[in-house]
Amino acid sequence: MPYLPVAGTRLFYTESGPANARPMLLLHAALQTGESMTPLRDLLAPLGLRLIQVDLRGHGRTANPARTWSIPGMADDIAALAAELDLKAPLLAGYSLGGMLGIELARRGLLSALVVLASRIRPAPRGRESFDPASIRSRSPQWAATLGERHTEVAWEELATGLGEMLATWPGFDPGELGRIAAPTLVVQGEKDQMVSLRQAEALAALVPGARLYVAPSAGHPELLYRADAMAQVYEFVRDQLNGVGCIYGDGSLQ
């Protein structure tokens, strides 16, 4: 299995597609694993991309000896992976937490294009409550059992508690820095998302120059990877980037 040493741990990842093709990172949501991005991998595979799915720090088969989580630190992991695999200015699609990491990497100028799915740009005041293990068990015992099977390096209860603390205390993205993102960006959001408000998606799309926004009617937080309309928007956006349509260049011009 492929692992990459980063900052005191080993990052688990898988690859598919031609090794010399245009690279694209697929980053999952909190409490998920890289495998959860397989529907998007399968959707984009016909475009001939080199697709990399990652288990984020503390998730799945990636450990987290530090026992703390942060958006900048997790983005550092992905930046290190991209450098080690020689992924020069990859495309990236991220779901929820994965999209937040994508925004952080785009803010650093490391991406050539970005797809943000159901991702917040502001802190989650109820993060501790939403990720409380006892609450998760109460809401869905079956989901709690699945989490126990899925996360083999860090107990899911510790992971959930750490993520809830991170999201509650994270300050959010600075609007001015979002306004300096140069990578072409697609924001996809469910109209009825109960975890990330539509207002945040609208704000992100308004702040990032030239960003597109697609709102999936009546969709909640976990549904976008299984919504044909949302996935069609992602496919068309990525295809356009590969074909050089609507790319933003360093001088700010749109070609």
Task: Measure Cα distances from 168 to 56, 64, 119, 130 in Å.
Answer: 19, 20, 15, 10
Q: Which amino acid is at 108?
A: R
Q: Which amino acid is at 93?
A: A
CA proximity to 166, closest of 56, 62, 6: 56
Locus of tokens 């109820």:
126
pLDDT at 218 (0 to 100): 97
Q: Which amino acid is at 77?
A: D
pLDDT at 7 (0 to 100): 83
Compute the distance between CA of residue 160 and CA of residue 170 in angstroms, rounded to an integer.
Answer: 15
81, two tokens? 């992976």
pLDDT tens-digit map of 78-111? 999 999 999 999 999 999 999 999 999 999 999 9
Q: Is the pLDDT of residue 122 over 90?
A: yes
Rounded to a whole number of angstroms, the distance between the first and last alpha carbons of the chain is 41
Q: DSSP letters along 209-237, please?
A: TT-EEEEETT--TT-GGG-HHHHHHHHHH
Q: Is the pLDDT of residue 32 over 80?
A: yes
* Predicted structure pTM score: 0.95
pLDDT band at 8 (very low <50, low <70, confident <90, very high): confident
249, two tokens? 């260049």
Mean pLDDT of the chain: 94
Helices (H), the chain: 38-44, 71-84, 97-107, 127-130, 133-139, 141-150, 156-169, 175-178, 198-207, 228-242
Q: Is the dihedral of CA 134, 140, 145, 150 positive or negative?
A: negative
Residue ranges of domains in the chain, CATH in brackets: 3-242 (3.40.50.1820)
pLDDT tens-digit map of 129-148? 999 999 999 999 999 999 99
Q: Is the pLDDT of residue 251 over 80?
A: no
pLDDT band at 1 (very low <50, low <70, confident <90, very high): low
Q: What is the radius of gyration, based on Cα positions, of the chain?
A: 17
